[in-house]
Structure 1
Amino acid sequence: MKSKIVNLLRSTFVLFINFFENRELKIPQILSLGIVLALFGYAFRYFTFSVSVLDWDEITYFIMGKGILLGKIPYVDLWDIKPIGIYLIHAISLLVLPYHTEVLRWTSFLHLLGLAMVVSSFVKNQSWIQRLFCGTLVLYFFSRLSSGLSANSEIYFLFYEWLGISFFFRKNSISISFFLLGIAFLIKYIIFFDVVFLGLYALWKRSESTSFLRICLEMSTFVIPIGTSILIYYFLGHSQEFFDALLTVSSKHQTNETIGFPFGTLISLFWPLFFLGFVTLLSDRKFTSYKIVLVALTLTALLGASYTGYYFQHYFLALVPPLAILATPARKVSWQLSIFALFLVLYSWNSVSNRWKKDLSHIPDHSRIIAENIQKLGGGTVFVASGVHATYIFLNQLSPTEYVQPVNYIDPLFSKNFDVDVKKVFREIKGVDFIQWCHQTQLEKADQDLTLNQDFVHPLQILVKENYPKKETPLAGCDIYYK
């Protein structure tokens, strides 16, 4: 048994090395590249590891992942509309790691490091310093944005997507490529446009000896991950809930106001990548099919990030990998340019990181403080009626109601679009020991705030008034109500 494990580890190591190795870089250079990128990546993100919450969604993914391990069925026992893949990622990590917010930082960091390594492998037949530059660009631009510092689904799906794309350009690897793309799709649906483009490209580039049918069969591995999920829900008897969450509800949840496309924001965020990419393309003067594909993937990523009408900043992180590859100067342009650009990136990071450290130092760790107050009062189950729901994690529990994220029942738009059953919420929270309310409007006056879902607020006010005395916390705008 021991020899089999050793052989498996050896085979995995060889596969890993062969994946990144080319005639320019050998094993020592690849390992050193990974180490240096890991050091850069950690330097870009270390100050976030002790921060409990950088984004609401990351907490929802984590709680859903823990729920899976405890036998809860996503979309049935615990509810949110995100694809099941992101919940499974955290469920797998929680098999061996503790139910703690710091685990979010480590799993996202490792996936981002993997993404940087994969993207750097696209810099074909280039020197070590140019691969380092490409990987550093990925790490930098993910860490430059607040949504990139958090454990957003982009970090996870982009790793599997670009791993799949890298196999796409390898001989006889279409099946592996589209299977990995299927995993990425199961984490974030916006890669649909990338997959369509790659499928059409594969059909167009097929050799005369390869039949149309064979290429289609090889690409059919894409449906294995999502098909497996559908089959599991079918045999559990919950296929309707699966499709309601992922298709019907998602189609309802559209913005009800016109929002202009954020050209200015995109330019301010990514102008160094656009500029370097433009300079590199001009200096190389060789617009190969490979570069055309990268430009096309930039455009499909832009389409995927914007087609919903919700221009969330983290959607546009999908632009970083192809732009980082295009922005890496070709060897004949001179490796000194890569070193100079790398120096500018690291120099600019000093001001960016100082701003983040200053901002984060002024944000109270709401959930941790509330959890500590609850534990001082003897502990018990909590219901997060408003505010950050990481309180559940610190108290080592799941949400007592199936609607994990508070915005689903407190926001009138979300509650309407998702047909939230408020009566069911109150049945599920019956008997909880504590109720958390963190909002700029006090709960006692919440019936006067029309931005809140009054169908939820009114019965909550009655419940609290009759059963839960108020306990103020050291946090302004945060109160605990307890029996």
Structure 2
Amino acid sequence: MILAVAVATRIVAWWDPVAHVDDQFYLLAGEELLNGRWPYLDIWDRKPLGLFLLYAGIAWISDGSILGLNLVGTAFAAATALVIRQIALRFASATSATLAAVAYLLAMPVFGGQTGQSPVFYNLLIAGAAWLMFRASDQDRAGSIRRHAMGAMLLCGLAMTIKQISFIEGAYFGLAFLWMLKRNGCGRGAVALTGAAMVVVALLPTLLCLAGYAVAGEAALGEFVYANYVSIFERRGWRLLAKVAGAAYFILFLLPLIGMGGLGAVHRWRAQPHDIGQKLLLGWIAAALLGYLGVPAFFDHYTLPFLVPLCISAATAFDRSSRWLLFIGVAGFYLVEGTPIDWRLHQRQAAQYEHIRRTIDQARRGGCVYVADGPSRIYIDFPDCRPSRYLFPDHLVLITEAGAVGVDTVTEVSRILAQRPAVVVTRAAAKGRRMPEIQALLSRSMAENYRPILITPPGYSKSVDDVTIWQRRDLAPPNR
């Protein structure tokens, strides 16, 4: 049933190549990696290497198919829901634990998790580590707790190679294991030694990634360190109004699950105030929330890790006599919101992108394409030319990225335009989204050297609406 719900809540996006701006780029980076172009050196981003290795594997087994990506994402989502159910069985009946798993799948699309966002994958690893933590809490032997701890730390270490912020939940799990050892009668020395071993295990996947770049030379290692651990602190924050809007989105759309999770916590506390499991769950919820708050910018998919412990806590609320009324309320809220069942949006986006792709194919006359702002998926469909290593458009045009990508973005955009690409793709931007210098540079270059050959209508798509395709003036216009 969980697998059926996973499919039902995600199938509408399976054939949409531009369902999410990030997924497009991750798949592009994965294909570039298969072609020998390395993250940070040949294609820049600040995500960890594990994410791109994962996407390279997906691109390899699916031949770059968007359907293949979504099938893998669906499998990960369903597997995570199964682990949620397994953990929830500790706090609720089998029926209520299943409802908690289904609630996770219903909520995911609303928070950008309908396709292949990074939490879709690393949530499984974090949930697996949490399952080991809860299992260890039932053990009365230090050796068994240590074995569970090492397995959990390895899973957390793998999660950190997909998204760095997952280290907050991993750190919480580590402290929880040490607390369990101390509670079990272990001395300070043994606890400290175990803690050191846990840190080594958790860092091992990242150290292996770092070693690969170190072997490639000092410059490669410098690029790896800057992209992964320095650039994020150089990003500018959005204005206060944007942050308030993000907080409001978080509260509004999470309200049903926050209510159910809170209700479940109250019931557990009243029934078993000294139960170690419910204390561990409350700590996990706090750690997941800290991970969400620890990211200065707001994007909807940053909420996805918080759903996992929240849905587990909600299982206790579903264990009441009114379980079906409560569950129908939660399910109805996320279905009425529309994202899980919006066939029309994804069909429209797929058709619009195909129109854009065909227009570019006719207009470029064998030349290069530069996506200044728009779907990075275009680079997958036209792989013969790369105008820059910054193939995720936002890295060069967003005002928040200025001074945070390792180059002067105005200089880099000027360099790209000086190459006279055959086709340039731009997209209408809200005021304050781009640097004024880059906006002026693009406007001047398009007016002097290019002509618009396609302007897509405005709408709700973040990839294909309000897009303009510009062709260099000296090229023959595309066939109509």
Relative to the length of structure 1, the TM-score reads 0.81
Matched, 1:113 2:78: yes
The residue aligned with 2:141 is none
For structure 1, which segment, 117-126 or 76-85, has the greater mean C-alpha deviation from structure 2 after superposition? 117-126
Contact 1:116 1:139 survives alignment (8 Å): yes
The residue aligned with 1:420 is 408
Change (3 A) 1:165 1:474: closer
Change (3 A) 1:471 1:182: same
Paired letter, 1:118: V
Cα offset, 1:325, TM superposition: 0.8
Contact 1:329 1:337 survives alignment (8 Å): no
Cα offset, 1:426, TM superposition: 5.2
The residue aligned with 2:166 is 191
Cα offset, 1:363, TM superposition: 5.1
Contact 1:410 1:456 survives alignment (8 Å): yes
Residues 48-79 of structure 1 deviation map (CA, whole Å, 9 limit, x = unaligned) = 22222233222221211111111111111111
The residue aligned with 1:64 is 29
Alignment of 1:455-474 (within 5 A): 455-457=437-439, 460=442, 468-472=450-454
Q: Aligned partners of 2:264, 2:452: CA distance in 1, in Å?
A: 62
Q: Aligned partners of 2:129, 2:432: CA distance in 1, in Å?
A: 47
Alignment of 1:200-239 (within 5 A): 200-206=175-181, 207-208=184-185, 211-212=190-191, 213-237=193-217, 238-239=220-221
Cα offset, 1:411, TM superposition: 2.8
Segments of structure 2 that go 5 or more residues without pairing to the other structure are 136-143, 458-465, 476-480
Matched, 1:182 2:157: yes
Q: What is the DSSP-based 3-state SS (H/G/I as helix, E as strand, rest coil) of the residue aligned with 1:173? A: helix
Q: Aligned partners of 2:244, 2:436: CA distance in 1, in Å?
A: 30
Q: Aligned partners of 1:220, 1:417: CA distance in 2, in Å?
A: 30
For structure 1, which segment, 286-295 or 374-383, has the greater mean C-alpha deviation from structure 2 after superposition? 374-383
Superposed CA RMSD in Å reads 3.0
Q: Aligned partners of 2:429, 2:133: CA distance in 1, in Å?
A: 50
Change (3 A) 1:56 1:286: same
Q: Aligned partners of 1:185, 1:247: CA distance in 2, in Å?
A: 12
The residue aligned with 1:373 is 359
Cα offset, 1:208, TM superposition: 2.9
Cα offset, 1:232, TM superposition: 0.7
Cα offset, 1:376, TM superposition: 3.6
Cα offset, 1:404, TM superposition: 1.3
Of 390, 395, 406, which aligns to 1:408? Answer: 395
Change (3 A) 1:389 1:50: same
Change (3 A) 1:398 1:326: farther
Contact 2:43 2:389 survives alignment (8 Å): yes
Alignment of 1:359-398 (within 5 A): 359-360=345-346, 365-377=351-363, 380-396=367-383
The residue aligned with 1:52 is 17
Residues 216-264 of structure 1 deviation map (CA, whole Å, 9 limit, x = unaligned) = 3144210111111111111111111111112222111131644448554
The residue aligned with 1:481 is 471
Q: Aligned partners of 1:465, 1:298: CA distance in 2, in Å?
A: 52
Q: Aligned partners of 1:417, 1:192: CA distance in 2, in Å?
A: 22
Matched, 1:241 2:218: no
Q: Aligned partners of 2:10, 2:468: CA distance in 1, in Å?
A: 28
Contact 1:105 1:151 survives alignment (8 Å): yes
Contact 2:14 2:67 survives alignment (8 Å): yes
Cα offset, 1:481, TM superposition: 1.2
For structure 1, which segment, 275-284 or 161-170, has the greater mean C-alpha deviation from structure 2 after superposition? 275-284
Change (3 A) 1:304 1:68: same
The residue aligned with 1:445 is none
Q: Aligned partners of 1:411, 1:467: CA distance in 2, in Å?
A: 23
Contact 1:44 1:143 survives alignment (8 Å): yes
Q: Aligned partners of 1:397, 1:138: CA distance in 2, in Å?
A: 41
Matched, 1:96 2:61: yes
The residue aligned with 1:33 is none
Name which structure has the greater RCO, CA cutoff 8 Å, separation 6+.
2
Cα offset, 1:197, TM superposition: 1.9
The residue aligned with 1:353 is 338
The residue aligned with 1:10 is none
Change (3 A) 1:479 1:262: closer
Matched, 1:303 2:262: no
Q: Aligned partners of 2:376, 2:36: CA distance in 1, in Å?
A: 21
